[in-house]
Structure 1
Amino acid sequence: MDINPVQPIILEITEYENKLFSLDKIPYSTGVELYEKYKTQVDIEFPTYKTREYWKLKAKGWVGYIPVTPEFHLKINPKVPIQNLFGMLEYTYNLKSFRFLQGLMDCESLEDFYNNLAHILADKVLERCRKGLYRTYLPKTQQLSYVRGRLDVRQIIQKPWNVKLKCDYKEHTADIKENQILAWTLYIIGRGSLCSERVSSTVRKAYHALQGLVTLQPCSAEDCIARYYNRLNPDYELLHNLCRFFLENSSPSHERGNYKILPFLVDMAHLYEMFVAEWLKKNTPQGYFFKQQHQIEISQNRHFSIDILLCDAATGKTIAVLDTKYKASEQRGNTDIYQMISYSNTTKCKQAFLIYPKDLTQPLDITSDQIRVRSLTFSLDDNLDRAGQTFLKNLFLFS
Structure 2
Amino acid sequence: MKRELPLIIELTEYQLAIFDREAIPELVGEKIYQNYAKEIDIEFPNPKTKYKWQLKSRGVVGNIPITPEFHIVIKPKVPIANLFGMLEYAYELKINFPKGQIECESLEQVYERLANILAHKILERCRKGLYRDYLPKRENLSYIRGRIDVREAVQKPWEVKLKCHYNEQTGDIEDNQIMAWTLFIIGRSGLCRESVSSTVRKAFHALQGFVTLKSFKPQACIDRNYHRLNQDYQILHALCRFFLENTGPSHEKGDREMLPFLINMASLYEQFVAEWLKANTPKGFFVQQQRRVIHDENYSDRIDLLLCDIETAQVQYVLDTKYKAPDRVASSDRHQIIAYATAVNCKNAILIYPQDLKQPLDKKFGDIQVRSLKFSLDDDLNEAGKTFLTFLR
TM-score (structure 1 length as normaliser)? 0.93
Q: Deviations over 1:234-265 (max 9, x none)?
A: 11011000001101111128987554221111
Matched ranges for 1:141-156 at <5 A: 141-156=138-153
Q: Distance in 2 between matches of 1:61 and 1:314?
A: 39
Of 19, 22, 25, which residue of structure 1 is paired with 2:17?
Answer: 19
Q: Distance in 1 between matches of 2:62 and 2:266?
A: 14
1:227 aligned residue: 224
Secondary structure of 1:133's counterpart equals: coil
2:370 aligned residue: 373
Moved more, 196-205 or 293-302: 293-302
Which residue identity does 1:14 align to in structure 2? T
Matched ranges for 1:174-213 at <5 A: 174-213=171-210
Secondary structure of 2:312's counterpart equals: coil
CA 28–323 in structure 1, closer or farther in 2 if over 3 Å, else same: same
Conserved 8 A contact 1:218-1:253: no
Matched ranges for 1:281-360 at <5 A: 281-300=278-297, 302-330=299-327, 332-360=329-357
Q: Deviations over 1:334-388 (max 9, x none)?
A: 1111112212222222221110001112212333223222210000000000000
Report how far residue 332 of structure 1 moved.
4.2
Of 234, 239, 242, which residue of structure 1 is paired with 2:239?
Answer: 242
CA 256–171 in structure 1, closer or farther in 2 if over 3 Å, else same: farther
**How many pairs were matched up?**
392
CA 253–346 in structure 1, closer or farther in 2 if over 3 Å, else same: farther
2:107 aligned residue: 110
Q: Distance in 2 between matches of 1:303 and 1:101?
A: 45
Q: Distance in 1 between matches of 2:247 and 2:84?
A: 17
Conserved 8 A contact 1:218-1:254: no
Q: Deviations over 1:179-221 (max 9, x none)?
A: 0100010011111021111111111111111112111111111
Secondary structure of 2:377's counterpart equals: coil
Q: Distance in 2 between matches of 1:69 and 1:216?
A: 27
**1:53 matches 2:51:** yes
2:387 aligned residue: 390
Conserved 8 A contact 2:329-2:361: no
Which residue identity does 1:48 align to in structure 2? N
Moved more, 340-349 or 65-74: 340-349
Which residue identity does 2:113 align to in structure 1? N
1:9 aligned residue: 7
Q: Distance in 1 between matches of 2:330 and 2:127?
A: 56
CA 170–368 in structure 1, closer or farther in 2 if over 3 Å, else same: same
Conserved 8 A contact 1:220-1:253: no
Q: Distance in 1 between matches of 2:172 and 2:235?
A: 19
Which residue identity does 2:68 align to in structure 1? P
Conserved 8 A contact 1:104-1:113: no
**1:63 matches 2:61:** yes
CA 385–349 in structure 1, closer or farther in 2 if over 3 Å, else same: same
Q: Deviations over 1:46-98 (max 9, x none)?
A: 111221111111111111111111111111111001111111111111123x2
TM-score (structure 2 length as normaliser)? 0.95
Q: Deviations over 1:298-331 (max 9, x none)?
A: 2235311111122222322222211100013248
Q: Distance in 2 between matches of 1:380 and 1:19?
A: 23
Report how far residue 285 of structure 1 moved.
1.5
Report how far residue 28 of structure 1 moved.
0.8
Secondary structure of 1:85's counterpart equals: helix
Moved more, 339-348 or 84-93: 339-348
* Structure 2 gap ranges (5+): none
Report how far residue 160 of structure 1 moved.
3.0
Of 88, 91, 94, which residue of structure 2 is paired with 1:90?
Answer: 88
Q: Distance in 1 between matches of 2:93 and 2:215?
A: 24
Q: Deviations over 1:272-315 (max 9, x none)?
A: 01111111111111112222112111223531111112222232
CA 301–212 in structure 1, closer or farther in 2 if over 3 Å, else same: farther
2:163 aligned residue: 166
Q: Distance in 2 between matches of 1:350 and 1:127?
A: 51
Report how far residue 7 of structure 1 moved.
2.8
Report how far residue 16 of structure 1 moved.
0.9
Moved more, 170-179 or 156-165: 156-165
CA 316–231 in structure 1, closer or farther in 2 if over 3 Å, else same: closer
Secondary structure of 1:99's counterpart equals: coil
Work out the percentage of aligned pairs sharing the same amino acid.
58
Report how far residue 129 of structure 1 moved.
1.0
Q: Distance in 2 between matches of 1:296 and 1:253?
A: 36
Which residue identity does 1:306 align to in structure 2? I
Q: Distance in 2 between matches of 1:207 and 1:102?
A: 30
Q: Distance in 1 between matches of 2:202 and 2:54?
A: 41
